């Protein structure tokens, strides 16, 4: 009896070792779980479900196989793959959730979020998020010819890389006030999120009650998975296969 949480795998063609690690995880560790939650940034970028990127089909097949072994799979969008749509979710056997999403986990109410919403000090990013949430803009972007979308994405990823390089680490972390507000507004005392790439379990007091914020790790250097059982949460690392082994598929 266990529920698994992963996030920030940031899959891309340049990192076949991460793809191999995730497929191995889905074919082994995740089999038999009560459910698997993917809390965003599964992919390094996403410009539409119609993107013929072969990586997408490889990953959809692996998730679909797991869902067909009766492991429900849930997905919350990250700041990278926020355009991942119902068409792809269906191909991958995933159910899309909103952000935040409240679940009952072995009798405990838990807030699930990607985590970017909690980084309130990063005003530049919050502005980017508000703009790209606009329905009409998403409608327009997704109808641009694919090469155009690829060019825009390439440019924006370069910009993000530069911006992140000079932004202070502190503004790219969650703000305690935003964490408290999200817990209070949903009457929860446990939160699980990703995005900051700072894996940890933080125990603190909220309105005189014990509270817990669990941050999932990214998969750049090693895999990171949260294993929840009744009354127990364990954050574990998973080694990535050596890059050359992975490229042999
Ligand atoms: O940790 C931190 C910092 C975190 C880093 C924040 N930065 C970050 O995530 N950047 C980023 C995310 C996604 C991509 S993308 O390549 O996947 N792709 C680009 C084009 N997208 C688009 C959509 C729409 Cl609706 C409209 C347009 C428009 F109008 F511009 F054309 C474009 C769709 C998505 C590229 C960069 N803060 O705390
Ligand atoms: Mn993120």
pLDDT in tens, 70-102: 999 999 999 999 999 999 999 999 999 999 999
Residue nearest atom 31 in ligand 1 by C-alpha distance: 141
Side-chain-side CA neighbours of residue 5 (13 Å): 26
3-state secondary structure (DSSP) of residue 205: strand
Instruction: Report the atom number in ligand 1 closest to the C-alpha of 122.
Output: 38
99 close to ligand 1 (CB < 6 Angstrom):
no
CB 198 within 8 A of CB 173: yes
Residue nearest atom 1 in ligand 1 by C-alpha distance: 172
Per-residue confidence (pLDDT) for residue 244, from 0 to 100: 59
Residue 158 to residue 175: CA distance in whole angstroms: 26
pLDDT tens-digit map of 5-56: 999 999 999 999 999 999 999 999 999 999 999 999 999 999 999 999 999 9
């Amino acid at each position: 009896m266990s529920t698994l949480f992963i996030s920030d795998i940031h899959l891309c063609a340049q990192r076949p070792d991460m793809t191999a690690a995730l497929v191995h995880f889905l074919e082994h560790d995740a089999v038999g779980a009560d459910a698997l939650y993917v809390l965003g940034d599964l992919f390094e970028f996403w410009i539409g479900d119609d993107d013929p990127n072969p990586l997408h089909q490889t990953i959809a097949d692996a998730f679909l196989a797991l869902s067909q072994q009766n492991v429900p799979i849930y997905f919350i969008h990250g700041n990278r793959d926020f355009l991942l749509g119902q068409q792809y979710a269906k191909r991958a056997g995933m159910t899309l959730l909103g952000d935040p999403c409240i679940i009952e986990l072995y009798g405990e109410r838990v807030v699930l979020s990607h985590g970017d919403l909690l980084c309130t000090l990063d005003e530049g990013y919050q502005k980017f998020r508000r703009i790209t949430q606009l329905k009409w803009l998403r409608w327009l972007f997704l109808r641009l010819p694919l090469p155009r979308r690829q060019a825009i994405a390439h440019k924006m990823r370069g910009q993000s890389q530069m911006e992140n390089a000079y932004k202070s680490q502190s503004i790219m972390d969650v703000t305690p006030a935003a964490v408290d507000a999200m817990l209070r507004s949903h009457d929860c005392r446990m939160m699980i999120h990703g995005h900051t790439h700072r894996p940890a379990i933080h125990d603190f007091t909220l309105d005189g009650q014990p509270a817990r914020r669990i941050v999932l790790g990214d998969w750049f250097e090693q895999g990171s998975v949260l294993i929840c059982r009744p009354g127990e949460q364990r954050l574990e690392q998973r080694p990535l296969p050596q890059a050359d082994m992975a490229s042999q598929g």
